[in-house]
């Protein structure tokens, strides 16, 4: 009988222990942890300097019949058919004041322009799978060019136009395009543009014809010769105009040997070297989210930026680097990934990384169209990346600061001098779903604050922010971006707990910060993005010709 009681007691003890064990673990599983971290910013000198209008977007030529993997995602978002009278569209562009817009894409090398030299009927693209890129030639009517320029004028956009670089060439069976560029039609179109007084920020020659090319390729020496021809034409057409457009090329994927040869042969003719980025692979890839949230995968693209920067530094060319087109996942992206909140992790990381390697401008594919537009293709309502781009444009200044984070591998950290104000703007991206990060900021600089130090030594010091009497100097501004209901595939952006949505007139909502005591650590929630404007610090790197950037 005693053994029975002992057995019953043992069972009760086991049950109690098991219940306690399960209870403890059920509390710990899914519980968010807090990780301490630190950001170190080197304020002695800038590591790069971007354009003040760094944010750039593209408008493409694809007609509604453009389909990928059985999905047709372009609708009426082409240069030829987009509704230029849409009020949301206009307001979205105006909010940047100004926004660079690159007009181009795959079909630009099959576009003919309705000018005096063009005697054929001006007909649009039509689908034909036996043709290069799957479509026939298409024509840009001058009446449509007039309409586009009316829109650009209203919106204040800066226009980069991609010219047809295959005109006059013969395409061989192996995909090589031989012969010189026939500039006749392009020159006539450019003269019309100048005659009408339409401002062009830059003329770009060709799309994805460099290196191995996409569908077709042009040799580097021939491309250089054609770029020199373009520069000569621009000089002639704009000879009585003081501000001349930039000469931009090649608008293709980086190939070290090809780019080196091309740059070395265009030292006096080329202003901007453009390259394209689709480092996530095809839009049909089922592992896109996994790649976006993987810091090691994101780091892989740094090699392209590094090698192009080195190529330019080691040349005698004065040309600068742009990302001319970047959609992340090629073939129109992936619905509910490249147009959802999760893509802001990739996009903002790309902006930060490109800046750190002295890239001057970054053009996102697309403003609208496909599954990677900043605006919804049919409703024009902003997708999450639109707000990410707008915050960057308003907060991140031109001078780029060397920035490092210690504490957790899944935090991405970038810092710039603040835009149009004193201090710095810090961008923190948390790719982790379980860890909240609390971080302090310190500065590695000989001078950081607006007070004198007794020591005159130029040795490096770690100097923390100090409290000030004025509100603007005792607090910092924070912009916390999260997905609606925590769903990374949501197409709704939340700023500081408030859903961002257009008002009844179709205007972009105000992007208002939280004000946080400067002495408090910066808190970055799981799967969130934070812009932090810290005004109570002055760094030598943020002074240029006696002014604050």
Q: Tokens 């509100």: give the residue.
A: 471
* Distance separating alpha carbons of residues 79 and 234, to the nearest angstrom: 23
* Distance separating alpha carbons of residues 115 and 187, to the nearest angstrom: 10
**Residue-wise pLDDT tens digits, 194-253:** 999 999 999 999 999 999 999 999 999 999 999 999 999 999 999 999 999 999 999 999
> What pLDDT does 28 receive?
33
Q: What are 308's two structure tokens? A: 């192009």
- The ranges assigned to domains in the chain are 51-396
Residues of the chain with pLDDT under 50: 1-29, 446-469, 545-548
The answer to whether residues 145 and 186 touch, using CB atoms and an 8 Å cutoff, is: no
> What pLDDT does 543 receive?
85
* Distance separating alpha carbons of residues 371 and 61, to the nearest angstrom: 15
> What pLDDT does 120 receive?
84
**Residue-wise pLDDT tens digits, 334-386:** 999 999 999 999 999 999 999 999 999 999 999 999 999 999 999 999 999 99
Name the residues annotated as catalytic. 208, 325
Q: Residue 31: how many CA atoms within 13 Å on its side-chain side?
A: 10
* Distance separating alpha carbons of residues 491 and 395, to the nearest angstrom: 23
> What pLDDT does 485 receive?
98
> What pLDDT does 472 receive?
61
What is the number of other CB atoms lying within 10 angstroms of the CB of residue 292?
23
As assigned by CATH, the class of the 51-396 domain is alpha beta
Q: What are 535's two structure tokens? A: 């005004």
Number of H helices, E strands in the chain: 12, 29
Closest C-alpha among 241, 126, 237 to residue 189: 237
């Amino acid at each position: 009988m005693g053994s029975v009681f002992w057995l019953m007691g043992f069972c009760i003890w086991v049950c109690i222990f098991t219940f306690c064990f399960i209870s403890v673990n059920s509390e710990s599983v899914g519980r968010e942890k807090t990780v301490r971290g630190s950001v170190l910013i080197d304020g002695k000198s800038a590591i790069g300097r971007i354009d003040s209008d760094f944010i750039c977007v593209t408008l493409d030529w694809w007609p509604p019949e453009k389909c990928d993997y059985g999905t047709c995602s372009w609708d009426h978002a082409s240069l030829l058919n987009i509704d230029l009278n849409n009020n949301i569209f206009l307001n979205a562009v105006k909010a940047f004041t100004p926004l660079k817009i690159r007009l181009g894409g795959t079909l630009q090398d099959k576009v003919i322009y309705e000018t005096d030299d063009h005697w054929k009927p001006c007909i649009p693209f039509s689908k034909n799978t036996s043709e290069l890129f799957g479509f026939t030639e298409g024509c840009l009517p001058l009446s449509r060019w007039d309409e586009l320029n009316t829109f650009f004028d209203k919106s204040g956009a800066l226009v980069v136009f991609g010219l047809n670089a295959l005109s006059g060439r013969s395409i061989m069976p192996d995909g090589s395009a031989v012969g010189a560029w026939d500039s006749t039609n392009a020159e006539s179109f450019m003269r019309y543009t100048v005659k009408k007084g339409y401002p062009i920020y830059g003329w770009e020659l060709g799309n994805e014809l460099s290196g191995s090319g996409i569908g077709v390729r042009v040799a580097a020496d021939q491309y250089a010769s054609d770029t020199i021809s373009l520069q000569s034409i621009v000089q002639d057409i704009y000879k009585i105009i003081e501000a001349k457009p930039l000469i931009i090329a090649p608008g293709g994927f980086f190939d070290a040997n090809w780019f080196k040869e091309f740059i070395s042969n265009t030292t006096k003719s080329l202003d901007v070297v453009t390259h394209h980025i689709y480092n996530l692979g095809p839009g049909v890839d089922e592992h896109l989210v996994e790649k976006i949230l993987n810091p090691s995968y994101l780091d892989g693209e740094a090699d392209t930026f590094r090698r192009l920067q080195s190529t330019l530094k080691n040349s005698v060319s004065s040309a600068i680097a742009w990302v001319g087109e970047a959609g992340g996942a090629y073939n129109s992206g992936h619905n509910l990934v490249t147009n959802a909140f999760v893509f802001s992790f990739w996009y903002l990381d790309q902006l930060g990384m490109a800046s750190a390697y002295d890239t001057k401008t970054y053009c996102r594919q697309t403003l609208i169209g496909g599954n990677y537009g900043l605006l919804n293709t049919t409703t024009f309502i902003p997708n999450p990346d639109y707000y990410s781009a707008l915050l960057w444009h308003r907060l991140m200044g031109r001078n780029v600061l060397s920035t490092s984070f210690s504490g957790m591998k899944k935090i991405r950290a970038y810092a710039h001098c603040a835009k149009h104000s004193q201090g710095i703007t810090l961008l923190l991206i948390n790719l982790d779903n379980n860890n909240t990060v609390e971080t302090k900021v310190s500065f590695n600089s000989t001078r950081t604050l607006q007070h004198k130090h007794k020591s005159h030594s130029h040795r490096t010091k770690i100097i923390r922010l100090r409290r000030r009497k004025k509100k603007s100097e005792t607090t910092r501004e924070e912009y916390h971006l999260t997905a609606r209901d925590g769903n990374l595939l949501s197409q709704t952006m939340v700023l500081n707990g408030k859903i961002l949505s257009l008002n009844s007139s179709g205007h972009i909502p105000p992007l208002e910060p939280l004000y946080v005591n400067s002495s408090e650590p910066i808190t970055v929630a799981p799967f969130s993005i934070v812009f932090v404007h810290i005004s109570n610090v002055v760094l030598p790197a943020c002074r240029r010709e006696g002014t604050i950037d």
